[in-house]
Amino acid sequence: MRTETMGLKNTLSRTPYYVLAGGLAVIFLFPLVWNAWASVSGQPGTAQESGYGFGNYRTLLDYDAGLWRYLLNSTIVSALTVALTLGVSLLGGYAFARFDFPGKNLLFLLTLAILMVPYATLLIPLYVLLGRLHLQNSLIGLSLVLAMFQLPFATFMMRISFEAVPRELEESALVDGCGTSGALRRILLPAVRPGLITVGLFAFLAAWNDFIAPLILISDSEKAPLPLAIANLRQQSMGAVDYGATEAGVVVLAVPCLLLFLLLQRHYMRGFMSGALKG
C-alpha cells in the first residue's frame, strides 16, 4: 500500500520532466522527420506532383552532371581527406609521443595553432597558392586543404593515444629486433586503433559536409562535392525553385552522417569529450 502511493507520487513528480524533455525531443526530431517525409511526398512544382514516390530522387539523378558524379566527387574528397589525415597524424602522433627531436614543441604548437586561425583567413591565400601548385579546381587540392584543417584535432588525438600505450610494449618489440617502424606496425597500430577510428570519423564528416572550402576552391560544377551541388541546384531551375529535389538532396547528404553517428556513437562521444576536456 505504502509503496503504491510512493510509486504514484513518483510518477506524478516525473510527469513534468517527461513532458518537457519529450516536447523538446519532438522539436529536435521534427525537421529531420518532416524533410524525409517531404522528399517522397507529392508537391506541385516538383517531379513528384502527387502521391508518394521517388520522383525527387530521379530529378537528382539527372541534375546537371548527375547525382552519381557528385556522390563520386564527395566520396573521393572524403576518402582522400581521411587517408591523408590518418597517415599524417599517425606518424606525427607517434613522433610527438615517443621521440625527442629538435623543434618538437614548436611544431606541435604550430599544428594546434591552425585552430586559432579562421577558416576564411586561410582560404583566400590557399586559393592563390593552390593555383601556383596547379592544384586549383582539383579534388586533390581540396582534400589536402581539408586534411590540413583536421590536423590539430587529429595530431592531438593520436598523440594522447600513443602516450596511453605502455612504453614497455614498444621496448620489448625493439629488444626483439623490430625497428621503430616494425614496432609501430605490429605493436602500436592495434593499440591506437580507437584513436584512429575517432580521427577518421571526424575527418570523414568534416570532408563530407564542408561547404565553404569547395565553394572557394572548386570552380568547375562537374567537380563540385554534393553539398555545393545541392546548394547550386536551388538556383538553376529557371527561376522556379525545386524544393522537392533539395529535400531529396538533404536526405542523401544526411543519411551517411546519421548512420555513422548511430553506429559509432562511442567513438563520436570520445572525440567530443576529448575536445571538451582539452579546452
Partner 1 sequence: MQPQVADEAAAGRHAASTSRTRRAARPHPPHQAGGPWWRSRKVKGLGYAAPTAAFVTVFFLLPLLLVGQMSLSDWPLLAGNRGGNAPENYTDITDGTLFWPAVRFTLLYTVIVTVILLGLALLLALLVQEHRPGVGFFRTVYFLPGALGLASASLLFWGLYSPTTGPLSPLLEGLGLVDEPVSFLGAPTSALLSTVFLVVWKFAGFYMLILLVGLQRIPHEVYEAARMDGADRWQIFRRITLPLLRPSLALTLLLCATGSLLAFDQFFILTKGGPDNSTVTIVQLIYREAFQRLDLGTAAALSIIVLAVLLLLNVLQFRGLRRADEP
For partner 1, the binding residues in 62-81 under the rule CB under 8 A are none
| Measured torsion, CA atoms of residues 20, 23, 29, 31, in degrees rounded to the nearest 10 | -130
Closest contact distance (angstroms) between CB of 67 and partner 1 is: 15
Nearer to partner 1, 3 or 121 (CB): 121
CB 223 within 8 A of CB 190: no
Q: Is 61 near partner 1 (CB under 8 A)?
A: no
CB atoms within 10 A of CB 37: 11
Closest contact distance (angstroms) between CB of 210 and partner 1 is: 7
Query: With CB under 8 A, what is the number of residues at the site for partner 1?
Result: 106
Q: Is 276 near partner 1 (CB under 8 A)?
A: yes
Nearest to 143 by CA among 73, 202, 92: 73
Q: Is 175 near partner 1 (CB under 8 A)?
A: yes
Q: Is 147 near partner 1 (CB under 8 A)?
A: yes
Question: Near partner 1 by CB under 8 A, which window of 51-59, 60-68, 186-194, 267-275?
Answer: 267-275
Q: Is 273 near partner 1 (CB under 8 A)?
A: yes
Q: Is 263 near partner 1 (CB under 8 A)?
A: no
Nearer to partner 1, 1 or 16 (CB): 16
Q: Return the residues of window 241-260 that contact partner 1 according to CB under 8 A.
A: 241, 243-244, 246-247, 249-250, 253-254, 257-258, 260
Please give the backbone phi and psi of residue 159, each rounded to the nearest 5 degrees, phi first. Answer: -65, -50
Nearer to partner 1, 40 or 95 (CB): 95
Q: Is 148 near partner 1 (CB under 8 A)?
A: yes
Contacts of 244 (CB under 8 A, 6+ apart): 38, 39, 43, 45, 46, 47, 48, 55, 56, 59
Letter for the amino acid at 251?
V
Q: Is 216 near partner 1 (CB under 8 A)?
A: yes
d(CA 162, CA 95): 9
Q: Is 179 near partner 1 (CB under 8 A)?
A: yes
Question: Near partner 1 by CB under 8 A, which window of 47-55, 58-66, 109-117, 189-197?
Answer: 109-117
Closest contact distance (angstroms) between CB of 226 and partner 1 is: 9
Q: Is 91 near partner 1 (CB under 8 A)?
A: yes
Percent helix, strand, coil in the chain (nearest 5)? 80, 0, 20
Cα angle 253-233-123, degrees, rounded to a multiple of 5: 70
Nearer to partner 1, 14 or 186 (CB): 14
Q: Is 6 near partner 1 (CB under 8 A)?
A: no
Which segments of 143-278 are extended strands (E)?
A: none
Q: Is 232 near partner 1 (CB under 8 A)?
A: no
Nearer to partner 1, 61 or 257 (CB): 257
Cell 575517432 sits at which residue?
198
Letter for the amino acid at 130?
L
- b (16+ CB within 10 A) / e for 244-255: bbbbbbbbbbee
